[in-house]
Amino acid sequence: MRKTIIAGNWKMNKDVNEAIQFADGLKRNFSNKNKSTVLICAPYTHIFAINHILKDTDILIGAQNMYQEEKGAFTGEISAEMIKSVGCKYVLIGHSERREYFKESNELLNKKIKLALHYELTPIYCVGEKLEHRENNQTFNIIESQIKEGLKGFSTEELKKIVIAYEPVWAIGTGKTASPEQANEVHSFIRSLLMSLSNSDISESISILYGGSVTPDNVTELMKKHDIDGALIGGASLKVDSFLKLINY
Ligand code: PEP
């Protein structure tokens, strides 16, 4: 069954005290009228503290990244097992900022997804085209290679455990949202790709989130679309009142 997921991505924002204040405020004022899965993808350093506050609530914690090896001499890196041990249930894989600034390839992301699943973390695999791709009519080619290469070799059972986030790069942090029609068109394309990857009708088992300048003002129209199962939200997830409006769209 497709789950509705509202996920915040704090990126590299907030110190630990601000994160604790946010978690306290969210817990005190929490309401979830659509019964969505609610998730905060926090910086590594804040996860333990906010998990302590939120552990007896329905609000879940995710990480924004993880390393592609299990353990060892990788100074400065954080493993799947580590994020799991501090309470993460989800992990973002292949956010466009990771693809762009850290040169993460589809092949590398495939390894990370595999490892996340091994540790029973739900990967949120992010895909999306840049502005130049959209302008040159390459959106569908780019999405196809991100999906086919990133999800290569997974069984149907594994594919069912993955969440996809479609985030057009030109819409992230820019205030330019894809129209609900533009987003839905790509979501339905992704759903058909997932079916062809598994050779079975798994498309109804996988949630596909939209991300890119989602705000309390545009979330409702996006969420009305048939193939949009939720939202991955950066800027508008940083304040409790705005995040609560998004949750209760
Ligand atoms: C994101 O961080 O994934 C994102 C979509 O950011 P924003 O909502 O700020 O565009």
> Mind listing the domains of the chain with CATH numbers?
5-247 (3.20.20.70)
Contact assessment for residue 60 and residue 23, using Cβ atoms and an 8 Å cutoff: no
Residue 97 alpha carbon to ligand 1 centre in Å:
10
Contact assessment for residue 88 and residue 128, using Cβ atoms and an 8 Å cutoff: no
Cα–Cα distances in Å, from 112 out to 31, 77, 96, 175, 229?
33, 13, 15, 30, 23
Q: For residue 95, give the ligand 1 atom closest to its CA.
A: 3
Q: How confident is the model at residue 158 (pLDDT cuts 50, 70, 90)?
A: very high
Contact assessment for residue 248 and residue 20, using Cβ atoms and an 8 Å cutoff: no
Identify the pLDDT of residue 131.
94
Q: What is the chain's Cα-based Rg?
A: 17
Residue 8 alpha carbon to ligand 1 centre in Å:
8
Residues catalogued as catalytic? 95, 167
Residue 199 alpha carbon to ligand 1 centre in Å:
32
Average confidence (pLDDT) over 230-243 = 98
Q: Which of the pair, 8 or 197, is modelled with greater confidence? A: 8
Q: How confident is the model at residue 66 (pLDDT cuts 50, 70, 90)?
A: very high
Ligand 1: list residues with CB < 6 Å: 9, 11, 95, 167, 172-173, 211-214, 232-236
Q: Give tens-digit pLDDT for 195-215.
A: 999 877 787 899 999 999 999
Q: For residue 236, give the ligand 1 atom closest to its CA.
A: 8
Q: Whose CA is nearest to atom 7 of ligand 1?
A: 234
SS (H, E, C) 110-168: HHHHHHHHHCCCEEEEEECCCHHHHHCCCHHHHHHHHHHHHCCCCCHHHHCCCEEEECC
Tell me the average pLDDT of the chain.
96
